[in-house]
Homo-oligomer: A and B are copies of this chain.
Amino acid sequence: MRCSIGVDIGHTNIRAARVADGVPTEVRKERTDVPGGPESVLEQARRLIAELSGGDRLPVGVGIAGQCDSAQGVLRCGPGFWWPDMPFRDRLSAAVGAPVVLRNDVVMATVGEWKHGAGRGVDDLVCLFVGTGVGGGAVVGGRLLEGASGCGGHFGHVSVQMDGPVCSCGRRGCVEVYAGGSNVEKRARLALDGSVLKEMSGGRPGSITCSMVAEAAERGDESSLRIRDEMAAALSSGVASIINSLNPARVVLGGSVMFGFPELHSMVARGALEQCLRPAADKLTIERSALGDLAGTVGAATMALEFYG
């Protein structure tokens, strides 16, 4: 049995797990100490790793929401994170006394699904996770897509509408601007008139969450259904474009927001298959994430073993 530690640092939560042969044997989850800044998040990761290692010197994989320079081991930017000058990987490695591999969180989740989840057995895989933001990762010809600066797979920033709303990345009409959780909440707050969300939120737009929008859509609320349909349209179009580009054998869709809307996964799978080129679709299946919230930690731990096991 080969053990390693996987850490998944999101803007909301930090998850860490001790993983043995792809199976998490012990899991921790805390609020990410974003207000404390990079030093606090580093300390938080160090502590969780130390607790889970229990004195063993286990290799560590870290996935983090944002764009990582994997060669330098640095987080270039992310949602609420901006640590371009902090050598996060090397500082963490020194602090825990073990080797650390650092990648984007959804790239790590892709490794998890590929090796131990819904992407097992294929050489060409695309993963798209819809949470607060929309992230992606891919396997091309049996190897993880890394890209020239370790930033491959940012499928959330495929634009599906060149004259669409402005995304946090600066361009217009990204998949994330339609389907990322925080943008869904923003859109819902701007469409309260005549919506049951007005009542559900007790008149406090700031309290509206994605789950509320999903529930309102289930109850037939028109403005929430419109938001959900726009999510599905943007995700379908983006996924079809990625299929035409990469011709994967499998697409795995995951993320809390993707599964928060009961119909969304099947709408996106159907829409993408209808739109993509036929030969590309012939050998393709679109599946649900098998590892869910733990895909990132399992993948990070798996990659740690591949690099340092």
Chain A residues engaging chain B, CB cutoff 8 angstroms: 67, 69, 76-77, 122-124, 136, 138, 140-141, 143, 145-155, 157-163, 169-171, 173, 233-234, 237, 240-242, 244-249, 275-280, 282-284
A140: chain B residues within 8 A (beta carbon):
140-141, 143, 145, 152
The answer for the CA separation of A279 and B140 in the assembled complex, in Å, is 21
Tell me the minimal C-beta distance from A283 to chain B in angstroms.
Answer: 5
The answer to whether B152 and A247 touch across the interface, beta carbons within 8 angstroms, is yes
In the assembled complex, 5 residue pairs joining A and B whose CB atoms fall closer than 8 Å, in A order, are A136-B245, A140-B143, A149-B279, A160-B162, A245-B246
The answer to whether A147 and B160 touch across the interface, beta carbons within 8 angstroms, is no
**19 extra A-B contacts, CB within 8 A, seeds A77-B278, A138-B245, A149-B247:** A69-B279, A76-B279, A77-B279, A141-B146, A147-B280, A149-B282, A149-B283, A150-B247, A151-B247, A153-B245, A154-B245, A154-B280, A158-B158, A159-B240, A160-B160, A160-B161, A160-B162, A161-B161, A162-B234
Closest 6 CB pairs of A and B: A147-B247, A148-B249, A152-B247, A158-B241, A162-B237, A171-B275
Tell me the minimal C-beta distance from A252 to chain B in angstroms.
Answer: 14
Tell me the minimal C-beta distance from A155 to chain B in angstroms.
Answer: 6
The answer to whether A157 and B247 touch across the interface, beta carbons within 8 angstroms, is no
The answer for the CA separation of A233 and B161 in the assembled complex, in Å, is 11
The answer for the CA separation of A159 and B164 in the assembled complex, in Å, is 13
The answer for the CA separation of A77 and B158 in the assembled complex, in Å, is 26
The answer to whether A169 and B277 touch across the interface, beta carbons within 8 angstroms, is yes
